[in-house]
C-alpha cells in the first residue's frame, strides 16, 4: 500500500512537471513574431522546468514553506504576465528588453543572496568553492581557446573581461532563468534518472529529454529553419551537443553537488559563444559544433561515472 501511494505521488509530480516544462512553452508560441518578443518568451520558458518541480512538490506534499521556492514561483509568474503583455503589444518594442531586466534582476538578486545568507547547504552558491574555482577557470580557458580557434580577430584581454562579467551576470542578475533550468535538470531529475538507469544511461536520457524540451525554441527563438547547414544536420548536432553538455554538467554536479555552479557554466556556455562560429568546418556548421561534443562526451568515461548510486537515492 505504501509503495503504491509513493508511486502515485511520483506520477503526479511527473505529470505536473511535464505540463509545466513541456506543454506551457507552446501557449504563447503562435504569437511569437518579433525577435524582441521571442527573447522574452525564451527567458520565461527557461523558468518552467524548475516551476514544474516546485508546483509538483507543493501539490503532492502540501508544504509551501521554502522561501527560495516561493520567490522563484512569484518571479516566474510575474515574468509570465510580462511576456503576455509583450506578446499583446502592451509594451513598446524599444522598452521590451529594459522591462525584462526590471522583472528578472530583482528576483535573481533576491534568490542569489538568500541562498548565500539563509539557504541550506544544497543551494549554497559557493559549495565546494575550491573545485568550483578550478572548474570555472578551466571553462574560461576553454572559451578563450575556442575564441582563438574560431576568430582571427579574437582579443584575449577583452574576452577575459567579458568572461568575468558573464560570471556576475549569470550568478547574480540572471539566476531566475538559469536556475530555472538547473534546479530541475541537475538539481532534481539527474539523480532520479541515474538511480533508475545507472549514471551513464541516466545522464544520456536526461540530455535527450533536455533537448526535446528545447523543441519550441528551435523555431521560436533559434530559427533552425533559417540556418544554412540544413535542418536535419542542425538538429542532429544540437542533440549531440546538448547531450554532451548534460554529460559535462552531470559530471560537475556529481563532483560538487553545486547546482549554482551548473547554472553558471550553463550561462557561460550560452553567453560566451563557445562553438566558435566564425570558422565553419562545413557550410553553416561552426568548427566548435564538432570539437565541443567530442570534448564533452569524454567526461562520460571519467571515474565519477563508474560508481553507481541507489535506485531510490535523492
Distance from C-alpha of 301 to C-alpha of 290, rounded to nearest angstrom: 19
Around Cβ 261, how many Cβ atoms within 10 Å? Answer: 28
Over 80: is that where the pLDDT of 103 sits? yes
Around Cβ 138, how many Cβ atoms within 10 Å? Answer: 11
Residues 274, 145 contacting (CB under 8 angstroms): no
Residues 19, 59 contacting (CB under 8 angstroms): no
Neighbour-count burial of 173, counting CB atoms closer than 10 A to its CB (0-12 exposed, 13-18 middle, 19+ buried): middle
Work out the angle at residue 212's Cα, subtended by the Cα atoms of residues 56 and 142, and round it to the nearest 5 degrees: 105
The model's pLDDT over 233-277, given as tens digits with 9 standing for 90+, comes to 889 989 999 999 999 999 999 999 999 999 999 999 887 655 545
Distance from C-alpha of 244 to C-alpha of 203, rounded to nearest angstrom: 9
Confidence of residue 312 (pLDDT cuts 50, 70, 90): very low
Question: Which H or E element spans position 14?
Answer: helix 2-18
Residues 259, 186 contacting (CB under 8 angstroms): yes
Over 50: is that where the pLDDT of 107 sits? yes
Q: Which residues pair with 282 in a beta bridge?
A: 285
Q: Which residue, among 114, 121, 159, has the nearest Cα to 140 in the 3D structure?
A: 159
Model pLDDT, residue 282 = 63
The model's pLDDT over 203-216, given as tens digits with 9 standing for 90+, comes to 999 999 999 999 99
Mean pLDDT of 11-22: 95
Rounded to the nearest integer, the mean pLDDT of the chain is: 89
Confidence of residue 2 (pLDDT cuts 50, 70, 90): very low
Residues 118, 67 contacting (CB under 8 angstroms): yes
B/e letters for 18-28, b = 16+ CB within 10 Å, e = fewer, are eebbbebbeeb
Around Cβ 167, how many Cβ atoms within 10 Å? Answer: 16
The model's pLDDT over 20-62, given as tens digits with 9 standing for 90+, comes to 999 999 999 999 988 889 999 999 999 999 999 999 999 998 8
Q: Which residues pair with 280 in a beta bridge?
A: 286
Tell me the three state secondary structure of residue 90: coil
- Chain centroid to Cα 273, Å, comes to 15
Confidence of residue 121 (pLDDT cuts 50, 70, 90): confident
The residue among 287 and 175 whose pLDDT is bigger is 175
Work out the angle at residue 86's Cα, subtended by the Cα atoms of residues 39 and 209, and round it to the nearest 5 degrees: 40
Q: Which residues pair with 286 in a beta bridge?
A: 280
Q: How far is CA 208 from CA 67, 155, 172, 215, 290, in A?
A: 31, 35, 29, 11, 18
Mean pLDDT of 132-156: 82
DSSP 187-206: IIIHHHHHHHH-HHHHHHHH
Q: Which residue, among 163, 134, 133, 183, has the nearest Cα to 20 in the 3D structure?
A: 183
Model pLDDT, residue 311 = 42
Over 50: is that where the pLDDT of 1 sits? no
Q: How far is CA 47 from CA 37, 76, 86, 95, in A?
A: 16, 6, 17, 21
Over 70: is that where the pLDDT of 69 sits? yes
Amino acid at each position: 500500500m505504501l509503495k503504491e501511494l509513493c508511486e502515485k505521488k511520483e506520477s503526479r509530480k511527473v505529470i505536473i512537471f511535464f505540463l509545466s516544462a513541456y506543454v506551457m512553452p507552446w501557449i504563447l508560441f503562435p504569437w511569437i513574431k518579433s525577435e524582441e518578443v521571442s527573447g522574452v518568451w525564451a527567458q520565461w520558458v527557461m523558468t518552467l522546468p524548475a516551476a514544474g518541480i516546485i508546483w509538483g512538490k507543493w501539490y503532492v506534499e502540501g508544504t509551501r514553506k521554502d522561501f527560495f521556492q516561493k520567490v522563484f514561483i512569484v518571479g516566474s509568474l510575474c515574468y509570465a504576465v510580462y511576456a503576455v503583455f509583450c506578446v499583446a503589444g502592451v509594451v513598446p518594442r524599444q522598452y521590451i528588453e529594459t522591462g525584462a531586466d526590471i522583472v528578472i534582476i530583482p528576483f535573481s538578486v533576491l534568490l542569489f543572496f538568500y541562498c548565500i545568507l539563509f539557504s541550506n547547504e544544497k543551494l549554497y552558491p559557493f559549495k565546494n568553492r575550491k573545485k568550483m574555482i578550478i572548474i570555472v577557470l578551466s571553462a574560461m580557458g576553454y572559451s578563450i581557446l575556442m575564441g582563438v580557434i574560431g576568430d582571427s580577430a579574437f582579443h584575449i584581454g577583452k574576452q577575459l573581461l567579458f568572461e568575468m562579467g558573464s560570471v556576475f551576470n549569470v550568478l547574480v542578475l540572471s539566476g531566475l532563468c538559469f536556475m530555472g533550468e538547473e534546479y530541475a535538470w541537475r538539481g532534481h531529475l539527474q539523480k532520479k534518472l541515474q538511480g533508475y538507469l545507472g549514471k551513464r544511461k541516466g545522464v544520456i536520457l536526461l540530455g535527450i529529454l533536455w533537448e526535446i524540451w528545447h523543441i519550441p525554441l528551435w523555431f521560436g527563438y533559434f530559427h533552425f529553419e533559417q540556418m544554412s547547414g540544413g535542418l536535419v544536420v542542425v538538429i542532429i548536432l544540437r542533440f549531440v551537443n546538448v547531450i554532451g553538455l548534460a554529460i559535462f554538467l552531470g559530471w560537475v554536479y556529481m563532483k560538487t553537488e553545486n547546482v549554482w555552479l551548473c547554472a553558471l557554466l550553463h550561462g557561460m556556455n550560452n553567453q560566451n559563444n563557445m562553438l566558435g562560429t566564425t570558422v565553419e568546418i562545413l557550410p553553416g556548421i561552426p568548427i566548435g559544433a564538432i570539437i565541443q561534443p567530442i570534448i564533452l562526451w569524454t567526461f562520460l568515461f571519467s571515474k565519477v561515472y563508474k560508481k553507481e548510486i541507489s535506485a531510490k537515492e535523492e
